[in-house]
Amino acid sequence: MNLRHIIATIGFIVCLSGAYAQSDYDLWLNYRPVQNTEVAIQYRTVLSKVFFASGSPQLKAAHQELWMGSKGLLNIVPAQVALAQGNLVIGKLNQIGELRKLVQPGDLSDDGFVINTIVQGTRKVVVVSAETDLGVLYGVFAFLKQMQTGKNIDQLNITERPKTMVRVLNHWDNPNRTVERGYAGFSIWNWHKLPGYIDQKYIDYARANASVGINGTVLNNVNANIIMLTPAYIEKAKALADAFRPYGIKVYLSVKFSSPVELGGLKTADPLDDTVKKWWKDKAAEIYKSIPDFGGFLVKANSEGQPGPQTYGRNHADGANMLGEALAPHKGIVMWRAFVYDNNVPDDRAKQAYNEFKPLDGKFNDNVIVQVKNGAIDFQPREPFHPLFGALSQTPLMLEVQLTQEYLGFSTHLVYEAPLFKECLDADTYAKGEGTTVANILEGKYLPKKLTAMAGVANIGTDVNWCGHPFAQSNWYSFGRIAWNPQADAAQIADDWLRMTFTNDERFIKPMKDQMMRSRENAVNYMTPLGLHHIMGANGHYGPGPWTDNIGRADWTAVYYHKADSLGVGFDRTATGSNAVAQYYPEVRDYFGKLENCPDEYLLWFHHLPWNYKMRSGKTLWNEMVARYYTGVDAVKDMQQVWKGMQPYVDPVRFNEVEQLMAVQYEEAVRWRNSCVLYFQTFSKMPIDPKYPKPEHDLQYYRSLKFPNVPGLGVN
């Protein structure tokens, strides 16, 4: 409230808005002037004479990006010179003459690139090269990153190759521009103005994606509207595909399995029916006529009311393979979601995907990949890795993570998600012995020549700053980096992102990287500590709702998941309970399933424990839970203090944005804490340690709060 008053009184954030209004919009590509004069001299020398090979649209895009970066970073326009004269030489390997031999890149056919500083006699030359046009574009972005992050470029020796083939955003965007679980405004796709109007935002979207190696986008919601397959909308999708092509971004569509009935007028959508097969083949051909490099289909089938092959007595492989056959002649792929969630409430929803897909292992066509969320429930603040990783040994799996913060405070909480992604990727499934991490599975190490992929549910909308929170941009950025290299380090990515987005000043980088790295654990602590999950508000998923107990079906409630009672709390997923833990390999089963091994972080995910259970800390479970909730809130307060000290290093607009958002985050974190400790106290009947501030209101107050118009309930 205080800040609003300040703004109202002195309006100070206006002062420089003319100069800074765009820094939010420009993401990590804002190309601010290089402050370090020493490296700036180096950069200017290298950029004073540039040979940039000409050719494809991708090369042109790369060329323009370098020129734009040079203007912004160094306020120079590079001089274009002959190959032999260049201090900087950029082009495909077959365009850079003798230098090719000196860079020794190895195989770069998968859009990898090389950046080398080469000494050739008396000549020193920086070479950015690749096998493919897109590789050159990636190389140029990587070269620009060197300058954005203030690196010495005197002895560059970088070779990078993407470790996955398909790196794709999933937009849960509806044709009416609502976005399911979108917290940054509405869909950036203005379908009405397409195909005639290509918004500059589409181009900048493609640039941002290419800069982090994202090479595909699924334009529409997995709860798919059939209109997307009509000729008019294919024409609109084609316009986007044309705009994205210079940046190596392929367009994909989510499709509804019943389209042959609803759109085609057929009597069935049975995947084994010949008329159905033909309908999809014809539809695929129609799409490829407009979009020759169309990526393929994403399918949510037999889940949350969506139709699917099971509707016709077939299985997921039948459905996926039929679509795969339709796409195969055009080299398209099918991403088939394993997030199945049928209308019968199972004893443990966590088990369903495994149960349905395990028997189908090895039955999917080569151009089909199964898309698996990081955990078996639904993008909770913390989940153990999905048991399908490891369980399917003959089927390519792709990881789906959620960038939009459905369960992580929408766009008002600073939560850097890379540590969450990494927690899953670094988890060891033991499927092929120790070291069979999710990341290694994702990279296809055990299934040579098959598809590899990673998907992120986009957090992008119409907000000027794209993601609603300046720091939410880091989740888009880090997704791209991690999809490119699932072994990448979350802290290093945060470091790069902070430098590119804000400043290279260490007085900013060090504390804010630290805060980013803690931020997800903070959210876990004030929302769902110790393995609690799915206790958010009903429907809108906004704020706490541990009391949710009656909304249609049991596994939509909170009580189904926390199972709190007078005896204790937690979901017993061991052999004495649902035995979901048995879906893991024995080593993991023992790790999670045996109380003495199970880490505190996963305790209540797998075990139902008494309130006075003695924790490793020596505290009772109740006291530990209370402590975690209070710790989480205190950490937000600490973060606010740290941010206040960042004012000298940040433009006033973004400083204010973040300061306000942190105040909201604090308020909401307090509400989470108070709601949860008061609610669980009704079962534990145990006191809150008096050293903690007493909740300002009683439970009834928190239960009574209503939040109409919660965003993200996009209706198709």
Q: Considering only residues 570 through 599, tell me which ones interact with a copy of itself, judged by CB under 8 A.
A: none
Which of the residues 103 through 142 are near a copy of itself (CB under 8 A)? Answer: none
Q: Which stretch binds a copy of itself (CB under 8 A): 175-183, 284-292, 479-487, 601-609?
A: 175-183
Residue type, 599: P
Which of the residues 525 through 564 are near a copy of itself (CB under 8 A)? Answer: none
Residue closest to 219 by CA, chosen among 256, 254, 167, 195: 254
Q: Tell me if 265 contacts a copy of itself by CB under 8 A.
A: no
Read off the tokens for 384. 């153990």
Rounded CA separation 475/501 (Å): 13
Q: Which of 131, 133, 406, 417 is catalytic?
A: 406
Q: Tell me if 173 contacts a copy of itself by CB under 8 A.
A: no
Kindly tell me which of 371 and 404 has the beta carbon lying closer to a copy of itself. Answer: 404
Residues 342, 505, 656, 686: which binds a copy of itself (CB under 8 A)? 656
Residues 664, 683, 692, 699: which binds a copy of itself (CB under 8 A)? 664
Do 69 and 34 touch, CB atoms closer than 8 A? no
Q: Cα angle vertex 415, ends 413, 421, to 5°?
A: 145
Residues 117, 159, 365, 462: which binds a copy of itself (CB under 8 A)? 462
Q: Tell me if 68 contacts a copy of itself by CB under 8 A.
A: yes
How near is the Cβ of 627 to a copy of itself at its closest, in Å?
A: 27
- Quick check: is 378 catalytic? yes
Kindly tell me which of 245 and 337 has the beta carbon lying closer to a copy of itself. Answer: 245
Q: Which stretch binds a copy of itself (CB under 8 A): 61-69, 497-505, 566-574, 591-599?
A: 61-69
Q: Which residues pair with 180 in a beta bridge?
A: 713
Q: Which residues pair with 373 in a beta bridge?
A: 400
Which of the residues 667 through 706 are near a copy of itself (CB under 8 A)? Answer: 667
Residues 44, 45, 49, 67: which binds a copy of itself (CB under 8 A)? 67
How near is the Cβ of 494 to a copy of itself at its closest, in Å?
A: 24
Kindly tell me which of 412 and 574 has the beta carbon lying closer to a copy of itself. Answer: 412
Question: In sequence order, what DSSP letters do the residues of 446-505 get, joined into one string?
Answer: TSTTS--EEEEE----SSTTSSSSGGGHHHHHHHHHHHH-TT--HHHHHHHHHHHHT---
Residues 78, 91, 105, 195: which binds a copy of itself (CB under 8 A)? 195
Number of residues that bind a copy of itself (CB under 8 A): 78
Which of the residues 374 through 413 are near a copy of itself (CB under 8 A)? Answer: 410-412
Which of the residues 16 through 45 are near a copy of itself (CB under 8 A)? Answer: 16-19, 21-22, 24-26, 29-31
Rounded CA separation 649/473 (Å): 18
Extended strands (E) in 275-404: 296-299, 333-337, 368-373, 397-402
Residues 43, 72, 494, 593: which binds a copy of itself (CB under 8 A)? 72
Q: Tell me if 661 contacts a copy of itself by CB under 8 A.
A: yes
Q: Which stretch binds a copy of itself (CB under 8 A): 78-86, 174-182, 385-393, 628-636?
A: 174-182
Show Cβ contacts of residue 45 under 8 Å, excluding neighbours closer than 6 positions: 87
Q: Which stretch binds a copy of itself (CB under 8 A): 170-178, 387-395, 572-580, 610-618?
A: 170-178
Kindly tell me which of 235 and 549 has the beta carbon lying closer to a copy of itself. Answer: 235
- Rounded (10°) angle between helices 418-425 and 506-527: 70
Q: Which of 304, 489, 549, 696 is catalytic?
A: 304
Q: Tell me if 76 contacts a copy of itself by CB under 8 A.
A: no
- Quick check: is 304 catalytic? yes
Give residue for tokens 């902070």. Answer: 498
Q: Tell me if 419 contacts a copy of itself by CB under 8 A.
A: no
Q: Which residues pair with 159 in a beta bridge?
A: 114
Kindly tell me which of 119 and 705 has the beta carbon lying closer to a copy of itself. Answer: 705
Question: In sequence order, what DSSP letters do the residues of 49-98 get, joined into one string?
Answer: EEEE---SHHHHHHHHHHHHHHHHHHS--PEE--GGG-SEEEEEGGGSTT
Residues 464, 551, 567, 595: which binds a copy of itself (CB under 8 A)? 464
318: left (phi over 0), alpha (psi -120 to 50) or beta: alpha
Rounded CA separation 608/427 (Å): 23
Residues 657, 670, 673, 679: which binds a copy of itself (CB under 8 A)? 657
Q: Tell me if 655 contacts a copy of itself by CB under 8 A.
A: no
Q: Tell me if 640 contacts a copy of itself by CB under 8 A.
A: no
Do 94 and 80 touch, CB atoms closer than 8 A? no
Site string for a copy of itself, 229-258 (x = CB under 8 A): ----------x--xx-xx------------
Q: Tell me if 363 contacts a copy of itself by CB under 8 A.
A: no
Residues 78, 86, 105, 185: which binds a copy of itself (CB under 8 A)? 185
Residues 177, 533, 608, 673: which binds a copy of itself (CB under 8 A)? 177
Cα distances from 100 to residues 105, 106, 109, 123, 153, in angstroms, run 8, 11, 15, 15, 19
Do 143 and 128 touch, CB atoms closer than 8 A? yes
Which of the residues 276 through 315 are near a copy of itself (CB under 8 A)? Answer: none
Read off the tokens for 532. 């609690």
Q: Cα angle vertex 256, ends 254, 260, to 5°?
A: 130
Question: In sequence order, what DSSP letters do the residues of 393-444 get, joined into one string?
Answer: SSS-EEEEEE-S-TTTTTTTS----HHHHHHHHT-B--BTBTT-BHHHHHTT
Return the active site residues.
304, 378, 406
